[in-house]
A and B are shown apart, each in its own frame.
Chain A
Amino acid sequence: MTVDVLYFAWLRERVGIPRERVETQAATVRDLVTELAARDDWHAAAFADMTAVRCAVDQELVGLDAPLGKAREVAFFPPMTGG
């Protein structure tokens, strides 16, 4: 399936792009991360410390073991600092 992957804050800076379209068979967010991290050194650097990475699937916050299902948009970002 085709998924739009979005990056924010320092994950965006490390990957070098704000978004990309990805073809994947990943079952979970974690599987998708494994695929993305294998793409190149920039992706690997972005996902080097998964304790510092948060994720949203179709704009809902989820854990790394969440199923991708029929997700159209997956976003990765550091812990949020609003307010």
Chain B
Amino acid sequence: MRARVQTQPFDPAAELEGFGAGAGAIVTFTGVVRDDTGSMAALELEHYPGMTERAMEGHGDTAARRFDLIDWRIVHRHGRLRVGEPIMMVATAARHRQAAFQAADFLMDWLKSRAPFWKREIGQDGSARWVAAKDSDEAALDRWQAMPR
């Protein structure tokens, strides 16, 4: 499977072993749990088992066709994560760097607002707050519709 959902931590470097053989350009992006308030104990991610895997595989294939990728990977965690831990990564392999960069960006914009994950911030005082979706993430996704293929 090129798309994977899991609770366990992952090692971004280990994920790239043997990845993208024959490519001229490999781009990877790793998202990390950050604490903007200084009061966060953990981040919890809920997802929709079944739909998540299907949707990520489907969108990865779309990216592969659109950007002529040689290979791609998506790893996304769910469950309880600590500040500083990797949440997710995408990797894209193409002949040239522009396609690899663009495909990674395209996958990230989609993951932000179309992959069925929901984040909740757990405070050091035990409070829990669902993270609201951002309009800017929606706008970032829209620009791919307008862009010539």
Quick check: is B117 within 8 A (CB to CB) of the other chain? yes
Please give, as numbers and ranges, the residues of chain B lying within 8 Å of A9 by CB-CB distance: 46, 118, 120, 130
A:25-72 near B, CB below 8 Å: 56, 59, 61
A80 and B130 form a contact (CB under 8 A): no
Q: How far is the CA of A59 from the CA of B53 in the complex (A)?
A: 10
Point out the residue from B46, B50, B54, B112 that lies within 8 Å of A83, measured CB to CB.
B112
CB distance from A73 to the nearest CB of B (A): 9
A residues near B131, Cβ cutoff 8 Å: 81
- Considering only residues 106-149 of chain B, those with a C-beta below 8 Å from chain A are 108, 111-120, 130-133
Interface centre among A9, A61, A75, A78 (most CB of B within 10 A): A9
- State A80–B117 Cα separation when bound (angstroms): 6
**Cβ-defined partner of B115 (8 Å) among A6, A59, A75, A80:** A80
Q: Which of B22-56 contact A (CB under 8 A)?
A: 31, 45-48, 50-51, 54-55
Chain B residues close to A by CB (< 8 Å): 31, 45-48, 50-51, 54-55, 76, 87-88, 108, 111-120, 130-133
Given contacts A59-B48, A59-B54, 15 further A-B contacts (CB under 8 A): A9-B46, A59-B55, A78-B118, A78-B130, A78-B133, A79-B113, A79-B132, A79-B133, A80-B133, A81-B112, A82-B88, A82-B116, A82-B117, A82-B119, A83-B111
- On A, residues with C-beta under 8 Å from B are 6, 8-10, 56, 59, 61, 75, 77-83
Can you sample 30 A-B contacts with CB below 8 Å? A6-B48, A8-B46, A8-B48, A8-B116, A9-B118, A9-B120, A9-B130, A56-B116, A59-B54, A59-B55, A61-B114, A75-B48, A75-B51, A75-B116, A77-B116, A77-B118, A78-B133, A80-B112, A80-B113, A80-B118, A81-B118, A82-B112, A82-B113, A82-B114, A82-B116, A83-B31, A83-B88, A83-B112, A83-B115, A83-B117
